[in-house]
Amino acid sequence: MSINFLGDRAARTASYALALVLLAGVVGCGSSRDPNLPEVSGVRGTFTYKGSPVVNAFVSFHPVDGGVTAMGQTDQYGNFKVSTFEHGDGAIIGEHTVTVHVDASAAAGAVPGMAPAKSAVAIPGQYASAEKSPLTAEVKRGGNTFEFDLK
């Protein structure tokens, strides 16, 4: 004869909770990220042109020393986050040339699934070229926020 102080339902609940804790510990011990990839850090920011948000623009952070370019897109307020290897992981640590490009069809809403930009701003073409863009950013460990006010 055994004595169950918790009751059958409570004992099952405690067993499930313990199993979940153990499973979380096992799953959380490994990382799916390849350790041979360069280190990245979170990058977010805002693009404006003459005081107006740059909407539905494609943003790229090109590592000066070579490597994978981080990309993102601005929202209706000109805010962006970039990704390199995984969604939202940021950009490779180091110096970058930054480009921003407003696709005319995206700004007009011609891209399926993308809403038309209410305040699409035409920006000078130099900002779309990694060779000509005057925009630079140093990505550091611990997260980064950049404000770009285009002239």
Could you tell me the CATH number of the domain that includes residue 129?
A: 2.60.40.10
The pLDDT score that the predictor gives to residue 34 is: 85
Domain shared by 142 and 90, yes or no? yes
CA distance 102 to 99: 10
The pLDDT score that the predictor gives to residue 135 is: 98
Domain shared by 57 and 1, yes or no? no
The pLDDT score that the predictor gives to residue 45 is: 98
Domain shared by 19 and 67, yes or no? no
Could you tell me the pTM of the whole model? Answer: 0.72
CA distance 68 to 138: 15
Query: Does 1 fall in a domain?
Result: yes
Query: Does 69 fall in a domain?
Result: yes
Domain shared by 23 and 44, yes or no? no
CA distance 57 to 141: 26
Domain assignment of residue 26, given as a range = 1-30
Q: How many domains does the chain have?
A: 2
Query: Does 119 fall in a domain?
Result: yes
Residues in the chain, pLDDT under 50: 1-2, 4-6, 11, 13-15, 17-30, 110-111
Taken in order 120, 126, 127, 131, is the CA torsion positive or negative? positive
Domain shared by 80 and 116, yes or no? yes
The pLDDT score that the predictor gives to residue 15 is: 47
The angle at the Cα of 99, spanning 110 to 142, to the nearest 5 degrees, equals: 115
Query: Does 35 fall in a domain?
Result: no
Domain shared by 121 and 140, yes or no? yes
